[in-house]
């Protein structure tokens, strides 16, 4: 991994059952998993390719106390849960106490694919995104919003990941000698039209 790319600690906050583990797993594998248990690791690195180069978000799923000083946060709430909607302000307050980047927090209402919704849910100055981890709906938008906010570039956009270079087969000594011989021969053979 490119250690020169910008790296940001990102707390994934929210009540139990809001889809934090599933959100992280969906970004890691592309597959939906019905979270259930908390993430096995405390942090995961998510790399996004942008028109300014790659950026890394080190995501931390939290169940209360923040173990790092995050530069940004995604607060998830369940749009079908009245309690979850009401607790968003508490999660934002917890982030504000732990971070020096007060504006780099985005709120996401998860489970918008379900029929039963608790009203419109909370609205915030920075806005919010409706997402569905299960249906893979709007999942990149919170990270794009955070990336733009953190680097101060509203024109920043995600781009496809560049293809890795093809693997180079290892050369044994005999192959190297043959290549060297062919280069010597190529240097002494006249090109057509140069005689």
Cα-based angle 21, 6, 49 (whole degrees, multiple of 5):
70
What's the mean per-residue pLDDT of the chain?
86
Per-residue pLDDT, averaged over 2-18, amounts to: 89
Per-residue model confidence (pLDDT) at position 36: 60
Per-residue model confidence (pLDDT) at position 110: 94
Q: Look up the pTM and report it.
A: 0.78
Per-residue model confidence (pLDDT) at position 103: 66
- Place 2 in a pLDDT band, splitting at 50, 70 and 90: low
Q: State pLDDT tens for residues 140-155.
A: 999 999 999 999 999 9
User: Domain 7-151 falls in which CATH fold?
Assistant: Rossmann fold (3.40.50)
Per-residue model confidence (pLDDT) at position 10: 93
Q: State pLDDT tens for residues 75-104.
A: 999 999 999 888 998 888 888 887 776 668
Per-residue model confidence (pLDDT) at position 162: 82
More confident residue, 116 or 158: 158
Q: State pLDDT tens for residues 175-189.
A: 889 999 999 998 888
Per-residue model confidence (pLDDT) at position 54: 95
């Amino acid at each position: 991994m490119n250690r020169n790319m910008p790296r940001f600690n990102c707390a994934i906050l929210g009540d139990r059952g809001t889809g934090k583990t599933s959100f992280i797993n969906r970004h890691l594998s592309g597959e939906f998993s019905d979270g259930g248990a908390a993430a096995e690791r405390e942090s995961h690195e998510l790399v996004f390719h942008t028109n300014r180069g790659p950026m890394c978000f080190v995501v931390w799923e939290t169940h209360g106390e923040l173990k790092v000083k995050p530069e940004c946060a995604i607060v998830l709430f369940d749009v079908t849960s009245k309690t979850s909607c009401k607790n968003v302000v508490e999660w934002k307050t917890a982030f504000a106490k732990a971070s020096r980047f007060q504006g780099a927090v985005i709120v996401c209402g998860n489970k918008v694919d379900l029929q039963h919704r608790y009203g419109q849910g909370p609205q915030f100055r920075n806005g919010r995104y409706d997402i569905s981890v299960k249906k893979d709906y709007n999942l990149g938008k919170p990270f794009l919003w955070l990336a733009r906010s953190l680097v101060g570039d509203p024109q920043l956009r995600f781009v496809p990941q560049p293809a890795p270079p093809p693997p180079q087969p290892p050369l044994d000594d005999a192959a190297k000698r043959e290549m060297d011989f062919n280069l010597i021969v190529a240097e002494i053979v006249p090109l057509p039209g140069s005689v």
